[in-house]
Structure 1
Amino acid sequence: MKIAVLGTGGGGRAHAARLVELGHEVFVGTRDPEATLARTEPDMMGNVPFGNWLAEHPGVTLLTFGEAAAAADEVVISGIDGHSAVAALSAIAEPLAGKTLIDYGVPYVYNPDAEHPWPTPWGVMPKLDPCDTDSLGERIQRALPRTKVVKAFVTQEQETVVDPAAVSGEHTMFVAGEDDAAKQHAKDLLEAYGWSDVLDLGPLVCARGMEMYAHLHSAIGFALGFGTPFGIKVVR
């Protein structure tokens, strides 16, 4: 299958590399391919320049967001940062029409002016906007009514999403969306990645809970030590 991955950060790279291993043809989307390939310094998370990474992954093709979405057969995975996602995806609404868009973005607002800031080892914890009464997933769906939006992958580091065996024992992944066939695409992909416990939360409104979980995920990560793989399990 031809699959598009939008975003060149660590999460996008993890999905692209794993999908190639699984035999898919992968198209990674970025705003400006020339600018992306011209970078010579690690990104803010310490990832090597994308051009260096791409040279080691010959099964991946770098294109613009729109070109990558157009190249996909049915499934597009979006890791575009929450602040930019709605605008970036709205600009490529036509090639996304009719396709399944799996979004794992978190609507973080960095360096917030907060009355009671949450200090972390890297500065103030970003706040969520939207929160409670809306979600990034729902905003994307409203902006792209012809696209079948699924919220998934968001409650876990993407390196663990594509390799759940990095955490010992079975743990749980969640999906939410309005279209059952689109959610099945996400479930099939998760099964291929190695997940055996996938819980369908129901309609896309449940994206609110998944996105808000990001703060608890961060707190657990701080407690365990940054970089420690972990998962959560729904016991029933």
Structure 2
Amino acid sequence: MKITVLGTGGGGRAHAARLLQLGHEVVVGTRDSEVTLGRTEPNFMGIEPFGQWVADYPGIELMNFGDAAAGAEFVINGIDGANAVRVLSGIAEHLAGKTVMDYAVPYVYNPERAHPWPTPWGVMPALDPVDHDSLGEQIQRALPAAKVVKAGVTQEQETVVNPQSVGGGDHTMFIAGEDAGAKEQVTELLRAYGWQDVLDLGPIVSSRGMEMYAHMHSAIQFALGGARFGMKVIR
């Protein structure tokens, strides 16, 4: 299958590499492919330039967002939460009728807070929207002709694409969305990644709980000294 991953950060790279390993045709989307490939310094999170990384994965193609989405059969959105709706709205015609698996968190970095939450890497980002809305819902409203499925937002993407790396894979992945067929597609991909326990939380409004969990996930990870972990729903 021809799968496009939108976003060149660590999460997008994790998906792209795993998809290539699984035999898919992989395209990564970015705002300006020439600029992305021309970077020579790590980004603000210390991640190596995309051009250096992709050299180890022949077969992965880099295109501008619209071109990458146009030829896709299935799309994974990893565009940062602050820009996702704007970027996706601009390429909506290329996403019509397609399943869009969205794992973006609506983080607002370096927020001004009376009582900031200090973390090992700075102030904890704020969530916006939160409680009354979600990024998953905003993306679905912006893409009425696409089928958005929220998934993977409760884990680091390195764990999403390799669940066996934590507890032998015995933990739970959550999905939410309006289209049953799209959720089946996403579940099939998650099974290929290695997930055994995929829990459907229902409509896209459940994205609110999934996204708000991000702060709890961070708190647990801090307590574990940064170690990866999973969450298991015991029935």
For the criterion TM > 0.5, the same-fold answer is yes
Letter in 1 for 2:80: D
- AA paired with 2:223? A
Counterpart amino acid of residue 202 in structure 1 = G
1:165 aligns with 2:164: yes
SS of corresponding position for 2:154? coil
- The residue aligned with 1:143 is 142
Tell me, yes or no, if structure 1 residue 30 matches structure 2 residue 30.
Answer: yes
Gaps of 5+ in 2: none
Deviation of the 1:134 alpha carbon: 0.1
Q: Tell me what 2:10 maps to.
A: 10
The gaps in structure 1 that reach 5 residues or longer are none
The reply to whether residue 201 of structure 1 matches residue 201 of structure 2 is yes
- In the aligned structure 1, how far is the partner of 2:225 from the partner of 2:111? 24
2:97: which partner in 1?
A: 98
Give the deviation of 1:221 after TM superposition. 1.0
Kindly report which structure 2 residues correspond to 1:25-174, keeping only aligned pairs within 5 A, or say none.
Answer: 25-73=25-73, 75-169=74-168, 170-174=170-174
State the Cα distance separating 1:59 from its structure 2 match.
1.5
Q: Find runs of 4+ consecutive structure 1 residues off by over 3 angstroms.
A: none
| 1:202 aligned counterpart, secondary structure | coil
The separation in 2 between residues aligned to 1:130 and 1:116, in whole angstroms, is 19
Deviations 1:97-145 (A, max 9, x none): 0000011011011111112211111221111010001000000111110
**Cα deviation, residue 60, structure 1:** 0.4
Equivalent residue number for residue 229 of structure 1: 228
Distance in structure 1 (CA, Å) of the matches to 2:110 and 2:181: 38
SS in 2 for 1:146: coil
Range with bigger deviation, 104-113 or 189-198: 104-113
| Matched residues, number | 234
For residues 141-183 of structure 1, what are the alpha-carbon distances to aligned partners after superposition, in whole Å with 9 as ceiling and x for unaligned?
1111001000000000000000001102400000000000001
Q: Which AA in structure 1 matches 2:114?
A: E
Q: What is the CA-CA distance between 1:45 and the residue it aligns to?
A: 2.1
Q: Scaled by the length of structure 1, what TM-score is found?
A: 0.98
Distance in 2, matches of 1:34 and 1:12, equals: 18
Q: Deviations over 1:10-29 (max 9, x none)?
A: 00000000000000000000
